[in-house]
Amino acid sequence: MTHLVTENCIKCKHTDCVSVCPVDCFYEGPNFLVINPDECIDCAVCIPECPVNAIVAQEDIKDPIEHQYWFDINKRLSKKWPLITKQKSPPPDAGEWDGVPNKRNDIIE
C-alpha cells in the first residue's frame, strides 16, 4: 500500500509535504506533486502537513476507478519528474485553486 497525492494539489502545490517524508519519495512537476508508490513506506506523516488535504492513503479512495486513476498518475509521473526534498513557495494564486473541482485535466506534464 501507499499514500497518493490527489486532485487538490494541482495548482496549489504548497510542498509542505516534502519536508517531512522520511524516505524522500515526492516528485515535482510544473503544477502538481506525486508520490512514488514503490518508495512510500505508508507512514502517514505527510497527510496533516498538506494545507489543502490532497494526500490520502491508497485504501481510503473507495471508488475503484478513482483509486486506479490516482495510483497510475502517481506511479507514472514519479518515474518522469525530478525528486523534491525541500519546501518551496507555492504558486502566487494557490489560494484561488483550493477546492476547485476537476483540476486533473490541468496537470502539466
Of 67 and 94, CB closest to ligand F3S:
94
- What pairs with residue 34 in β-bridges? 27
| By the rule CB under 6 A, 100 interacts with ligand SF4 | no
| By the rule CB under 6 A, 15 interacts with ligand F3S | yes
Q: 29: which 3 cell numbers?
A: 512537476
Among 79, 57, 83, 81, residue whose Cα is nearest residue 70: 57
| By the rule CB under 6 A, 35 interacts with ligand F3S | no
Q: Where are the alpha helices (DSSP H) in the chain?
A: 64-80, 94-97
| By the rule CB under 6 A, 98 interacts with ligand F3S | no
- In the list 4, 17, 25, 34, the residue contacting ligand F3S (rule: CB under 6 A) is 17
CB of 35 to ligand SF4, least distance (A): 5
Compute CA 16 distance to the chain's CA centroid, rounded to the nearest angstrom.
11
21 binds, among ligand SF4, ligand F3S, none (CB under 5 to 8 A by kind): ligand SF4
Q: Do the strands 33-35 and 55-57 form a parallel or antiparallel pair, or are they unpaired?
A: unpaired
CB of 98 to ligand F3S, least distance (A): 9
